[in-house]
Structure 1
Amino acid sequence: MTTATVSFDPFSEDFFTSPYETYRLMREHAPVYYSEQYDFYALTRHVNVAEAFKDHETYSSAYGVDLAQVRTGEITKHGGIIAMDPPAHRRMRSLLNKVFTPRAIEARRALVEQVIDQFLTKVDGGGFDFVQDFSALFPVEIMTIMQGVPAQDRQQIRLWIDDFLHREPGAVEMSEHGLQSAIEMSMYYYKLIKERRSNLGDDLLSKLIEAEIERDNGEMAPLDNLEITEFAVLLGGAGAETVTKLLGNAAVAFAQNPDQWQKLLDDRSKIPLAVEELLRYEAPAQYNVRRAQRDVTLHGVTIPAGSPVFLVGGSANRDPEAWTDPDVFDIDRDRTQAQNLGLGYGIHSCLGAALARLESALALDRMLDFMPRYEVDWSGCKRVNMQNVAGWSNVPVRVLP
């Protein structure tokens, strides 16, 4: 079997529904996959994906974060820290690392608990949509509270994000509606930042306004409004999507594997292990796109310089060369076997990883209280159609007596 007989279309309905059989075929028969349809390459084996995540000199982020951007061949001027290579990335990351220290995130524990309870207590256990009524609502609420977004605007951020990440099957480019939402969200944050400059507080936007960063000439200077806007959009998007999708996946995975849910009911100290296994088993972000900066030869295939390269972490986390029985959902899995790529790896590993883990762990703990026994209405489950994101838009559930 060759690339020609393995079909990987990350913009297809089949991909949005379940890509794991395709990943298996790619790992076995086309570990360096080439798409004639879209003119990109893809790496799917754990060893290659992990190495590529760490090699920013070969696999550049500076040309953008999706296929539409990368294949233009132009370094992107806007996109924030995720579309940067060192040294600019290092300077920006060091600035944000000060805001997302483990101590700073732990200090948000009470806020996270309060917001989770706020939304979970509103649902009807007799029948509710786990995603639309719960897991889609609270993560963006937490992030926008941290940013200082007024209460009446917080859920609007989520709706804008859903719009600009959505892709109809076969669509590579953002839709006109999605582009409009991206513009509106950016304009909203830009205006909010301008207003915040004259009314600083203890929120993330105020901290970024007050911060200084080392520029290319070595001098320290404050961030401008556009740079802070890019940070705000990125944090809003990551804060809304990662935990929303992880918990939707959790509701499905535990319903399909009730023995694993019982393990948590019996021993809540296993909750952090469950979060890690959820990130491995079905990571919210399935792939990242980079640009090859030089010719790279792997498994007898040469990736030409300038080519878009998909680093498919979702496949790497199911690689049997890295994990024992990788398609089995097992919260007691030996985590030392391989690097879990569910939140990225290398310099672009998820900046908000500690917050995502805290939110997910506390939400699972509350779920164990609220819905110790539950069933899913499988006929009502619906997948998202989103760029590089795996998850559910609808998971109807009912708490059992």
Structure 2
Amino acid sequence: MECAVNVDMETRVPFDPYDYLFHEDPYPTYARLRAEAPVYHNSTQDFWALAKHADVRAALRDSVRLSNSWGVSMDPTSYGPDAHKSMSFLAMDDPKHARIRKLVSKGFTPRRVMDLSDRITALTRQHWQRCLEMKEFDFIRDFAGLLPMDVVSELLGVPEVDRTHLREQSDLLLHREEGVLDVPEAAIYAYVELVRYYQELLADRRKNPGDDMVSVLIDAEIPDGAGGVTRLSDEEIIGFMVLMVVAGNETTTKLLGNAMYWGWRFPDELAKPLADPGIVPAWTEETLRFDNSTQMLLRRLVADVEFGGFTIPEGDRVLLLVGSANRDEDVFDDAAEYRIGRDSSQTLMSFGLGVHFCLGAHLARLEANIGLTEIAKSLKSYEIDAAAAERVHSVNVRGFAGLPMSIRPA
């Protein structure tokens, strides 16, 4: 009976995370899943999915039975016991996860992040001033794609001359061609190139240490529980640097683009931060809820788990639909409305929960708030060429690859 019900789910509510049409607008599919199949099974692509806020929340908190150790992406090449090589501690369970996270945190302290505020502001003004002068530009190419890469590069000590190249490799890592259900060849080459680059950077820092995060990570140590200390290996440092390019760069680029897009689509809401840039943090938070960069995360079950009357067996994989959870009508009033100023501080799923809560959440918010504040202070209005906008096609990440716009400076 359960098998028959599952087959019926798949035909009644088609859901393919790789489908380009789904990438254009996943939210009608999420709404149907919440209403008709909140615990969903797709036997063809061999995955389960959780669509309700309560189930996603419970799953994020259960780091014992729902494992990260095979990665968080459905791509077959990325999914497996070696996922940590490209995803660092994001693809680990405790105690391995806790060890790497504690060591990495030595170089990613709140104080180090806050010390970047002035530099983020300077970089924002540098890139945005050019946009103000052009008046017509591509928001991703000319601003949102530059600022986060510069910030990550400042942390890691990457020279300005190399940042465009690293940005291109980061884009290649995410993009998926239509109909391709695995990591494409271009993404594999991009990963190899990033590893090569960071190997050379790490070797240089060992010879010429500075005050950047890489130098801090080389010297970071914590007690090993046996009277000695443990440090990060070269492979572990490089894995973290590659993760920073995606988690610390691409997701923030998409957050900035999504904020501008939805502000334009909801002009009455946009009027709030344009009139009072002091409420920009509320603009950031509503964008994180309404259309988050990270749409879904994968988990592999290491024990049977029950959700909504279904027993998902050990060894199966389940998608946690963060984007759906953030639109759950049982939790958010008028969930389908973009409403700047709503309080979602206790219910937001965008940065995860529990032991895997996003280490870079504070930095992402800081960059978005500084960037959007500078924009809000300088504009009367802007228009987006929606017909020419181009979306990123990725299983996990949602946002724009191109967002042409014109502006009216204040």
Question: Which TM-score band applies after superposition, normalised by the shorter structure?
Answer: over 0.9
Q: 1:172 Cα shift? A: 2.4
- The change in CA–CA distance for 1:153 and 1:288 in structure 2 (over 3 A counts) is same
Q: Give the equivalent residue in structure 1 for 2:347.
A: 339
Structure 1 residue 311: Cα displacement: 0.6
Q: Where in structure 2 are the equivalents of 1:260-275 lying within 5 Å?
A: 260-275=269-284
Instruction: Report the CA distance between 1:400 and its aligned residue.
Output: 2.7
Please name the residue that 2:357 is paired with: 349
C-alpha contact (below 8 Å) 1:32/1:43 kept by paired residues: yes
Q: Name the counterpart of 1:298.
A: 307
- Per the TM alignment, residue 267 of structure 1 is displaced from its structure 2 partner at its CA by 2.2
* 1:242-257 pair list within 5 angstroms: 242-257=251-266
- Tell me what 1:232 maps to: 241
Give per-residue Cα distances to partners, 1:347-382, cap 9 Å, x unaligned: 112111111111100111111133331111122111
Q: Residue 376 of structure 1 corresponds to which residue in structure 2?
A: 384
* SS in structure 2 at match of 1:273: helix
In structure 2, runs of 5+ residues without a counterpart are: 1-7
Q: Which amino acid aligns with 2:65?
A: T
- 1:314: Cα distance to partner? 0.5
Alignment of 1:158-197 (within 5 A): 158-197=167-206
Q: Conserved in 1, the CA contact under 8 Å of 2:106 and 2:216?
A: no
211-220 or 287-296, larger mean C-alpha shift: 211-220
* 1:2-401 pair list within 5 angstroms: 2-69=9-76, 74=81, 76=83, 78=85, 79-123=87-131, 124-215=133-224, 219-335=228-344, 338-400=346-408
> 1:213, CA displacement in angstroms?
4.0
User: 1:194–1:225: 8 Å Cα contact kept in structure 2?
Assistant: no
TM-score by length of 1: 0.95
| Separation (CA, whole Å) in 2 of partners of 1:69 and 1:144 | 30
- Give secondary structure in 2 for the equivalent of 1:63: coil
8 Å CA contact retained: 2:77, 2:183:
no
Using the alignment, how far apart are the partners of 1:292 and 1:214 within structure 2? Answer: 31
* Per-residue deviation, residues 66-113 of structure 1 (Å, max 9, x unmatched): 123599653645231101111111122122333333322211111000
Whole-angstrom distance in 1 between the partners of 2:271 and 2:247: 30
Deviation at 1:335, TM superposition (A): 2.3
Q: 1:251 to 1:72 in 2, by over 3 A?
A: closer
- C-alpha distance in 2 between matches for 1:163 and 1:218: 44
% identical equivalent positions: 37
Hey, what's the Cα distance between the residues in 2 that align with 1:292 and 1:372?
51
- What is the rounded CA distance, in whole Å, between the counterparts of 2:38 and 2:227 in structure 1? 42
Distance in structure 1 (CA, Å) of the matches to 2:154 and 2:383: 32
CA distance in 1, matches of 2:358, 2:231: 24
TM-score scaled to structure 2, two decimals? 0.93
Distance 1:96 1:287 in 2: 24
Matched residues in 2 for 1:135 and 1:382: separation? 14
Instruction: Check the 8 A contact 1:32/1:301 in 2, yes or no.
Output: yes
Q: What's the Cα RMSD here?
A: 1.8
- Equivalent position amino acid for 1:318 in 2: R
Instruction: Specify the alignment match of 2:4 in structure 1.
Output: none
**Cα distance in 2, alignment partners of residues 210 and 366 from structure 1:** 36
Change (3 A) 1:71 1:380: closer
Mapped to 2, the partners of 1:316 and 1:70 lie a distance apart of 27
Q: Tell me the number of residue pairs that the alignment of Structure 1 and Structure 2 aligns.
A: 400
Range with greater deviation from structure 2 (89-98 or 250-259): 89-98
Write the deviation string for residues 288-319 of structure 1: whole angstroms up to 9, x where unpaired: 11101111222222211101110110000000
> What amino acid sits opposite 1:388 in the alignment?
N
SS at match of 1:197: helix
Deviation at 1:282, TM superposition (A): 0.5
The Cα shift of 1:275 comes to 0.9
3-state SS of 1:240 partner: helix
2:301–2:316 contact (8 Å) kept in structure 1: yes
Going from structure 1 to structure 2, the CA distance change for 1:69 and 1:109 (only over 3 Å counts) comes to same
